[in-house]
Amino acid sequence: MFSLVLATAVAASPSPSPTPPPEIAHVVTSDRSDETLANSIRTTYVVTKAEIARRGAQNVADAIASVPGVTIGRYGAIGSAANYGIRGSNSAQTLVLINGEPAPGSLANSVDLATLPTIGVDRIEVVEGGGSTLYGTGAVGGIINVITKPSTGSSASVLAGSFGEGALDLQGRMLSLERIVSNNDFPLPNGTARQDSDYEATAGRFSLDHSLGALRVSLSAGLNAAHLGAPGPITFPTLSARQNSLDEDAELTLRRDTARAGTVLEISGTEQQIAFWCDPIGDPGTSSGGCFQPLTATSTEGRAGFDLRNTVDSAHQRLTYGIDASRGVVRSDSGGTAFDPVSFAPLAPTVDALAQTAFYAQDSIALRDARVYAGIRGERDGGFGGAYSPSLGFAKGFGVLTLRANAATAFRAPNASELYFPGYGACSTPAFACNLSPERAKVADATLSDGTVLGGASFGWFVNDTNDLIVPTQVSPTLFYPQNVDHAAIEGLMFTLRTAARYHLFAAIDCTDLYKAEDLDAGHRLPNDPVLSANLRVGYAAGAHGWLDRAELWVHSAGAKYNPFPAPQAWANAIAYTGVDALVALRVGSRTSLNLRGANVFDARYAQVTGFPMPGSSFTLELVTR
């Protein structure tokens, strides 16, 4: 079933697979309350559990890589870090949630979708465009909400693949476990093997959903521990750099619904620990590579959140309002390798608290042939003062066509890394003033959709105008510090088209033309923003019988525009590439299937981030029992 769903469908589109009922009918992220997908005014895409399983996506980056408007920039094979953004925004401007609450690492901008597991995930909702009215800081480009849920059954899978990759998944009704290992010893363009790129991770997720009379209780808790090598770019390799990380999250939700209202209380907590080091003896540092972090650098973050909201419904109106409150503590330690540029004294570890307090309200009204909403948020982010974030939008039908439009202001307060990390954060070095201001953006979009064209089509435009953009600025040949220096202008067009199933065949295509993504102060294009990106999906979904269950092909292509950046900023130049992935799923029993997947099957060598090589063709074989 075509489970990558756009909320701009006018009516339920024909399913591209023979199994009729749609996998997703309701979403909870776009308006921070339960609503039908067809009624969502904000552009919303959903990646379901079934789609995650079909793609074999072991992390959230892989799961959403084909969502229109989403950009994923990897630094290598499985386990390597990934940049991400929506509609030209960067990782810091994209809010990542787990069950509606900020993911571990949100305070320090260290949420890595490439290591955020999909174990126990029911679906991922991607809301595009500014979301600060309902969610606050960090939602300039959009929101990625990873939603977990107790499973309705149990399953197990074992996987083996290229470059020493292996995985074991066990999923029960309330508990899911996963173990992944990979050597990642793929060959480099010069024929040598990539070294110190191994990866191993263990993840678990517990989910509970229970009713106590009129009270519904949901509990989710997850843990992900990873150990990996960090070999660096080809131009500056290291053979011994290692990283350990531990992410933990827990969310408790209490919900009470009446005929016309719903009250939700959410209590959440997250913790992240990251340690990075290398061996200066076996891997001595030189001007061309080697160990550059002989003492362990650590970053520890803890956050607690409290959210209370109420939704009141009448015949033609819905009012949602609530309060958000959170507090976090971040400790950063460079391991004694960062020095004050004036006194040359080693910088001490920093321990700092960050807080958020906000009130928001959004009112939506249904008219005869239109829906309109307006909302506002007032938020205070610690010492950075307050910000107001209004938004408004509407959806109106014109026969078989529906026009949806949104406009809002969005903002992002500086994160803990930009403020406090020794040797980089603006507040960590006495020689530099701690004067960072929040980013402030004006965002808007308009989408015209038609659910009667094949399986559904849409065409949209979006714009993002940001002031006080926070970027790393070179202040000496070897030092970079974040400063508010830039004004960025982003504009683009998006097109999606999908077919209904015919003779068990289906197809879908989308294209994003990011024709403007400019740093207006510096006079060059923003880094890692491809001018043109497109996804094509074609497949065959068999009926209930036969040995062939499914065959699919995914093609992702990204263009690039070269920026004449001076050294050492040349790394910001994106590389154009086209990658092709494939799946053949076979039935080998009534409850057992065998999945053969290929990634980059035509061995198109490319680097999504310059200097960090990607593997060539790779294949996995997965046995799944249900």
At residue 356, the pLDDT reads: 95
At residue 563, the pLDDT reads: 54
Q: What's the mean pLDDT in 417-446?
A: 89
The span from the CA of 591 to the CA of 1, in Å, is 19
Give the neighbor-by-neighbor strand order of the sheet with 44-48. 5-6, 44-48, 121-128, 142-148, 94-98, 101-102
Q: What's the mean pLDDT in 33-60?
A: 92
CB 623 within 8 A of CB 158: yes
The span from the CA of 302 to the CA of 313, in Å, is 36
More confident site: 21 or 616: 616
The span from the CA of 135 to the CA of 87, in Å, is 18
At residue 17, the pLDDT reads: 33
Average pLDDT, the chain: 89
Strand pairing report for 215-229 and 199-212: antiparallel
**Any idea what DSSP says for residue 137?**
T
Q: What's the mean pLDDT in 186-202?
A: 87
Kindly report, residue by residue over 72-91, the tens digit of the pLDDT: 988 889 999 998 999 999 99
Span of 156-160, 314-318, 527-531 with lowest mean pLDDT: 527-531
Residue 357 has pLDDT above 90, yes or no: yes
| Cβ burial, residue 618 (10 Å; 0-12/13-18/19+) | buried
At residue 561, the pLDDT reads: 62
More confident site: 15 or 569: 569
Q: At a CB cut-off of 8 Å and minimum separation 6, what does 408 contact?
A: 129, 130, 131, 132, 133, 389, 390, 391, 392, 442, 443, 444
Residue 13 has pLDDT above 60, yes or no: no
What band does 95 get if pLDDT is binned at 50, 70 and 90? Answer: very high
The span from the CA of 24 to the CA of 612, in Å, is 37
Residue 474 has pLDDT above 90, yes or no: no
At residue 22, the pLDDT reads: 43
What band does 603 get if pLDDT is binned at 50, 70 and 90? Answer: confident
Q: Omega before 568 cis (within 30°)?
A: yes
Domains and CATH numbers, the chain: 5-215+243-282+289-301+324-625 (2.40.170.20)
Kindly report, residue by residue over 24-36, the tens digit of the pLDDT: 568 999 999 998 8
* 340: phi then psi, degrees, rounded to nearest 5: -65, 130
More confident site: 370 or 614: 370
Q: Which residues of 311-344 are buried (b: 16+ CB within 10 A; e: fewer)?
A: bebeeeebbbebebebebebbbbbbebbbbbeee
Kindly report, residue by residue over 233-265, the tens digit of the pLDDT: 887 888 899 999 999 999 999 999 998 999 999
At residue 505, the pLDDT reads: 94
3-state secondary structure at position 571? helix
Counts for the chain of helices (H) and strands (E), in that order: 4, 33
Kindly report, residue by residue over 279-292, the tens digit of the pLDDT: 999 898 888 889 98
At residue 569, the pLDDT reads: 47
Residue 596 has pLDDT above 80, yes or no: yes
Kindly report, residue by residue over 291-303, the tens digit of the pLDDT: 989 999 999 999 9
Residue 11 has pLDDT above 70, yes or no: no
At residue 53, the pLDDT reads: 93
Residue 131 has pLDDT above 90, yes or no: yes
CB 131 within 8 A of CB 87: no
Q: Give the 3-state DSSP-derived string for 254-301, with helices as H, strands as E and coil as C.
A: EEEECCCEEEEEEEEEEEEEEEEECCCCCCCCECCECCCCCCCEEEEE
At residue 520, the pLDDT reads: 87
